[in-house]
Amino acid sequence: MDADNPFGPEVVEAVAQHMNDDHAGDSLLIVRALGGRPDATTAETTGLDGRAIEFRASVPDGEPVTVRVPWSAPLTERAQIRAEVTRMYHEACAALGETPRGGDEEH
């Protein structure tokens, strides 16, 4: 672990697996609205560090691209990841005119 990534590989892997297994649609909304790739057709969480979450996004005209979406502030604790992803999801829904699911317990 270093200053930019206070999260060990087991945390990164667990978060990525959870996002990909349970929240793939949320990841796509985040990439489209906050990651500057409104053309993305799929998004897979590939990593994260204290500054951002990273996705591999499929786009219509080319190879998959890496999209980093920064947190609102640097993160240092695992519990902050859930809060930030939830915030990003709600922000992305608002930006795209989507109605978010009810309750934050789903993240």
Give me the torsion for CA of 30, 33, 39, 44, rounded to 10°.
-10
In whole angstroms, give the CA distance from residue 68 to residue 42. Answer: 15
pLDDT for 31-89, tens place per residue?
A: 999 999 999 999 999 999 999 999 999 999 889 999 999 999 999 999 999 999 999 99
| Residues, the chain | 107
pLDDT at res. 84: 98
Name the nearest CA neighbour of 69 among 100, 27, 23.
27
Question: Has residue 103 got a pLDDT over 60?
Answer: no
| CA atoms of 70 and 61, how far apart (whole Å) | 25
- pLDDT for position 106: 44
Q: Residue 102 has what pLDDT?
A: 75
- Asked whether the whole model's pTM tops 0.85, one would answer yes
Residue 3's pLDDT band, with cuts at 50, 70 and 90, is low
pLDDT value at position 105? 44
**What is the SS3 assignment for the chain?**
CCCCCCCCHHHHHHHHHHHHHHCHHHHHHHHHHHCCCCCCCEEEEEEECCCEEEEEEECCCCCCEEEEEECCCCCCCHHHHHHHHHHHHHHHHHHHCCCCCCCHHHC
